[in-house]
Every structure is written in structure tokens, then in C-alpha cells.
Structure 1
Amino acid sequence: MRAAGEVREELLGMLEERYGERVRERWYSDPFHVLVACILSQRTREENTEKASRALLSVAPTPERLSSLPLPRIRRLIRGVGLAGQKARNLKRTARLLLERYGGRVPETREALMELPGVGPKTADVVLCYGLGKPAVPVDTHVNRISKRLGLVREGAGLEEVRETLQRLFPVEKWHLLNRGMVLFGREICLPRHPRCGQCPLRGCPSRVRK
């Protein structure tokens, strides 16, 4: 099996060549909007998340507006997502906490974000990375899958172990390329089922060798 350092360098080179320009486009957005979208995205298909996010944020683009909306209206606006009732409550409580604790701003630390209702480690990391432009490695299904297929992380590792391992293996200035690039690569080539190994440019992938 190849050393982790060799796999790391090949992966970074491929991600830079294939996705570098797309990754370097303006990639962070309004942190409150990212936070809302992340809470809505849990256990929900991407297209339903986007539809619900647009509907809700068109009416309540700020914590002030969201906190003033009645719960039934929030539920109606996000009705296409899973667990809509629970998410509506979490969103309203989160908006109120942002106003009470942070003057309507989204907090800028992982610990503070994870104190908000409905915010776990992945959501906190996504907000840090894509909402605040801070270094973080959000571990979604693509990052988790590819890391294990490449042998960068042990097969039985949990999401926090995956995150900690990747942050240790890769320099901080490459974290955004790593996350965004792996997400794109996971959607296009390294699919969950029937990965397109014949199109994969990573010659040393252990999973590819076994096929």
C-alpha cells in the first residue's frame, strides 16, 4: 500500500488541476444564509433544500425577520424538507439566540456555533468554511467516502476522526481545495455506488486496484 504522503500529494495535484479554478471562485456567502441552508439540508435532498432555502430566505433574510415569523408560516415555507416541524423550531430559536447573544451576527467559532439548536459538527464546519471564509474541513458523505477509499483514514473511523485526520494530513491553506474538490469529485467520478474508476485520474487508489 502506498504511503499516506504519496496519496496526499497525488490527490491534491488532481484536485488542483481538475477543480482549482472553480474552487478559487468566490466561494463564501452570507453566513446566516449558509447557516439556514445547512440546518434545512439535514436528511433532505439537495433540490428540496435549495427550494426551501429560497422560499424561507426570500421572506426572512435576517435573524430579525426570521425570529418574528410565526412557526406555522416557517413550517409552510420549508414544507419540502424532512423533519420540517423540528427544523422550523430550531431555526426560530437559532434566530432568537443570534439576536440575544451575538447582536444578530453568526458566531465565528466552532464551539459557539455548535451551541445553536440544530447545529452539529458538520454544519458548524460548513458555516465556518462557506459562510465565514475560515479554515475548516466539513466532512460530508463524499469526503468521508473518498478519504476511506484512498486509505487516508481507517475504514471504521467516525466523522470527527475523519475530520481530525484530514486536518492533520493536509496543510491549512489546502483545506478548502480539499473539501470543495472532494465534493465535486465525489459527485462526478467517485460515486457512492458504481464509481467511475475507469475515468479516475488517481492511479494509486487502493479501491481502484481491487476492481
Structure 2
Amino acid sequence: MKKADIFEFYRRLAELNPGPETELEFGNIYQLLVAVVLSAQATDVGVNKATRRLFQEVKTPQEMVALGEEGLRQHIRTIGLFNAKAKNVIALSEILVRDFGGEVPADRDTLVELPGVGRKTANVVMNCAFGAETFAVDTHIFRVGNRTGLAPGKTVLAVERKLDKETPQPFRVGAHHWLILHGRYICKARTPECWRCPVEDLCRYKPKTPTPGAKKAKKAAGS
């Protein structure tokens, strides 16, 4: 995608949603970190459902350690891989208490060293909590980047680096939110809704998905 088209691509998404935010619910940076760890291979809706009561009870890593692994498991049993995630959340909470005074460090390399925190999770926390210009590439962004031609790449890291290189100001902080939401609600995996896409003319994907019912109407008209 050409530079002018990339700028216009983001401009349109920004115009439709000037203040994009994560759909995960949280009250502070620590809760954000926990929510993102829990969201791996799970939906934001499912995580929010599980964490609403949890986050009323637990607001700090100290309180999470006090809750304990079994107590945490009871809260998040509806989330996939909850046993492993509970173990990681307790472990990372213990490290935050022991090494960081209970605070979440504002450093991606440090975050990645925490149990259960990969590069994507660290990028989300850096962006949402600290306003860093990071690009958290999940399955939605990977698909949108490749399908549209915005940031083609064979690996998640390749797409992230392409986005980092090509995304211009003033869109860098909000970029990953716009792309996730676009992939989640319009540029869907199985059937992208090209007929209502605001960047359809800039996208390299072919063939475009027609308006629902258009095929049947065309077929009926030809018969």
C-alpha cells in the first residue's frame, strides 16, 4: 500500500472512532496487565465477564498473592487455559511485589520477562497504560495487515515491524486499536464485510464481499 493510501486508511478509521480504546475492562495498570494475560486465546467479552467480580476484590498484586492460585482459578474457570493462566498471574504478581514495589514497570523488555507475558501482551500494556507507540499484533491485525496490503508479513513480528515502519503520525498510538476493531467487526476472518468497509477502495483484497443478498438478487435478475 502506498504511503498516501496508508495515511488515508488511518485517517478514515480515526474519523469514525477518534478515541479508540481496548475493549478489556480494568481499573488500573495492574488490572490491565492481568486482563491482557488472561485474554490470550480468549475473547475480551469472556475475560470481562470473569474479571468483573475479580477486580472488585483484587486491585493490586499484593491482593492477588493473598487471593492465591486456587482462589484465582475459581474466578477465571470460564476462561480457556485457566489453570496455566492462574499460575502465571500469581507468579508475575509475586515478582511485581518482590522486585518492583507492586508497580507495573513501564518497559517492554522487562514486561516480557514476567510469567505469561509475551511480546503482544507487553505491547498492549505499553500502549494502553503508558501511551507508547507499540503495535500489538494479534490474529485480527495479522489478518488485516496481510489482507489489505497495509502491512504484509509471514510472521507476527514481520507484520509488527512493517506497521512500526509504515504507520505515520498522528496515528501511531491508536493504530493497533483501530486495526483490531476493524478486524473484529468488519474485516472478519471468514466473511469480510467489504460492502460496509470505510477503506474498501484502498484495500488490496479481492474479490470484495458483496452486500448480503446481492448474489441472490443478481441470480434472480438473470433468470
* TM-score, scaled relative to structure 2: 0.84
Counterpart of 1:100 in structure 2 is: 98
Q: Which runs of 5+ in 2 are unaligned?
A: 210-223
Distance 1:181 1:152 in 2: 13
Give the conservation status (yes or no) of the 8 Å contact 2:112–2:122: yes
Deviations along 1:120-177, whole A, 9 cap, x unmatched?
A: 011000111112222211112221111111213335x211111111011113542222
Counterpart of 2:173 in structure 1 is: 176
Paired residue for 1:196, among 187, 193, 198?
A: 193
Give the conservation status (yes or no) of the 8 Å contact 1:135–1:173: no
Distance 1:122 1:6 in 2: 28
In structure 2, give the amino acid aligned to 1:117. P
Distance 2:169 2:183 in 1: 21
SS in 1 for 2:86: helix
Paired residue for 1:78, among 37, 56, 76?
A: 76
The structural deviation recorded for 1:29 is: 5.8
What percentage of aligned pairs have identical amino acids?
31
Distance 1:54 1:210 in 2: 39
Does the alignment pair 1:18 with 2:25?
A: no
SS in 2 for 1:139: coil
Higher RCO, 1 or 2 (CA under 8 Å, sep at least 6)?
1
Distance 2:204 2:132 in 1: 32
Give the conservation status (yes or no) of the 8 Å contact 1:36–1:53: no
> Deviation above 6 Å: which 4+ runs of structure 1?
none
C-alpha RMSD over aligned residues: 2.2
In structure 2, give the amino acid aligned to 1:206. R
- Higher mean C-alpha displacement, 136-145 vs 118-127: 136-145
Give the conservation status (yes or no) of the 8 Å contact 1:4–1:151: no
Q: Which runs of 5+ in 1 are unaligned?
A: none
The structural deviation recorded for 1:208 is: 4.1
Counterpart of 1:167 in structure 2 is: 164
In structure 2, give the amino acid aligned to 1:124. A
Paired residue for 2:119, among 113, 118, 121?
A: 121
